Amino acid sequence: MNLREQLSNAMQGNVVVMGIGNPCCGDDAAGSRVAQQICGAPGVRVIDAQDVPENYLGQVMDQRPDTILLIDCVDMKSAPGSVALFDEDRTTAYWPSTHRVPVCQLVDYLERTTNVRIFLIAIQPHHTGFLQPMSVEVLSSVEVITDVLNEVVEMRRMSAGAECASPLKGRVPA
């Protein structure tokens, strides 16, 4: 099953898409960059949480999601730019993070406080050094993920007959 089919199956009900990543740390910016380029639709809220996803948990909960889709760079010990879609059970196996709160802890909290489906689009970084540009491999993956997500969101938008809604950008402390 390809990523488009996996995401179409995963994104059910009211969906929150949260991009995670430090915009100053090379490939780590990938999740944030995807979120900035995703068009919201009825039942799909996009949040660019950058490197402080914990600050957006209140906004996530306010949306009363059925599905939460996180997007972040994760060291999967694979080739740079590799992409995988994990459910919450597989996500908790990935501890390393460049963020104050690792993705596995975020998923653990969301599992304990909600009854929602949680997925992670994981992108293998090449480098996450401070003030480094995004690698070609990860930039290519960001473009593919953005295109696929926008297609899935567009299908939802068309079925609801609505116009594109801009994603929430920037940081708002909780």
Q: pLDDT (tens digit, 9 = 90+) per residue, 128-139?
A: 989 999 999 999
- 167: pLDDT strictly greater than 80: no
Give the count of beta carbons closer than 10 Å to the beta carbon of residue 131. 7
Tens of pLDDT, residue by residue over 8-19, are 999 999 999 999
Can you read off the two tokens belonging to residue 11?
């994104």
pLDDT digits (tens, 9 = 90+) for 95-127: 445 555 677 777 778 888 888 999 999 999 999
pLDDT digits (tens, 9 = 90+) for 20-74: 999 999 999 999 999 999 988 888 999 999 999 989 999 999 999 999 999 999 8
pLDDT bucket at 163, cuts 50 / 70 / 90:
low
In this predicted structure, what is the pLDDT of residue 72? 93
Report pLDDT for 172.
40
Domain parsing of the chain, residue ranges: 3-159
So what's the pLDDT on residue 103? 74
* pLDDT at residue 171, rounded to an integer: 40
Can you tell me the distance from the alpha carbon of 56 to that of 87, in angstroms, rounded to the nearest whole number?
20
Question: CB atoms < 10 A from the CB of 8, how many?
Answer: 16
The arrangement of strands across the sheet holding 15-20 comes to: 44-50, 15-20, 67-73, 117-123, 83-87
How many helices (H) and strands (E) the chain has is answered by: 6, 5
CATH class given for the domain over 3-159: alpha beta
